[in-house]
Amino acid sequence: MIISDILRLEGIEVDLKSQTKEDVLIELVDLLEQAKMLDENKEIIRNAIFEREKLSSTGICDGLAIPHAKVSGIKSILGGIGISKQGIDFQALDKKVSKIFFILISPKEDHGNHVKALAKITKILKEESWREELMRCPGPQEVLDFIKDKEKNLV
């Protein structure tokens, strides 16, 4: 599972406009659409993301949130990254605001890769200095380069 392979430049936003949890989830799904990663299934995906969020927040801690869902009808795992400079109250478990959003959509059947992707994302972003480095990226290209670079380090 290579994270940089499931991202597209157009699916990365370093300055999210949203200020609420609801808005940011919509903005992230829009981002995937804008990157032409979605076919006709945008509604389904957005609903799945909202449904998952109802169970418990995917805002884990230290400013990191991983909204995710499994849906049928998509061929491969899709990912997008959004960064909010001021942070958004995402009801994270540690009650801190969330700043780095990694949205992850997996085919319903592909359980194994979904879990591997989740594990890889948290590994890439576990160091505070790395999260700060990501926050400082001026544009999507730098974000993608950062992910590629860190992934190499992990191997």
Partner 1 sequence: MKIIIIGAGDVGFQIAERLVHEEHDVVVVDRDPQKILEVSRSLDVLTVIGQGGDYNVLTKANITDCDILIAATDVDESNMIACFIAKKFNVPSKIARVRNYFYSSNGDNHELFTKEELGIDVLINPEEVATNQIIKLIHSPAAFEVVDFPEENLVIKGYRVTDGLEIAHCPIKNFAVYDDLKQMLIIAIIREDEMIIPKGEGVLLPGDKVYVVAKTEDFNKISPYFHESYKPVHRVFIVGVANITRHLCKYFEDSDIHVKVIESDRNKCLSFSQEFHKIDVVNCSPTDKEALMDEGLEKIDAFIAVSDDEEKNILSSMIAKKQKVQKTIAKIQNNDYLPFTSTMGIDAVINPKLATVGEILKYVRLGNVLSVVTLGESDAEAIEYLITGQSKWIDIPLKDIDFPDGCLVSAIIRLDEQIIPRGNDTLQIGDRIIVFARPDGIEKVGKFFG
Q: What are phi and psi of 78, to 5 degrees?
A: -120, 145
Q: Does 109 bind partner 1 (CB under 8 A)?
A: no
**Longest alpha-carbon distance in the chain:** 39
Our CB check for partner 1 shows the closer of 66 and 147 to be: 66
DSSP character string of 48-114: HHHHHHHHS--EEETTEE--EEEETT-SS-EEEEEEEEEEE----TT-PPEEEEEEEEEETT-HHHH
How many residues in the shown chain lie near partner 1 by CB under 8 A?
22
Q: Does 64 bind partner 1 (CB under 8 A)?
A: yes
Q: Does 116 bind partner 1 (CB under 8 A)?
A: no
Q: Does 42 bind partner 1 (CB under 8 A)?
A: no
According to DSSP, residue 122 is labeled H
Rounded to the nearest whole angstrom, what is the least distance from the CB of residue 126 to partner 1 in the complex? 4
Rounded to the nearest whole angstrom, what is the least distance from the CB of residue 92 to partner 1 in the complex? 9
- Residues lying near partner 1 in the complex (CB under 8 A): 52, 55-56, 58, 60-62, 64, 66, 68, 93-94, 115, 118-119, 122-123, 125-128, 131
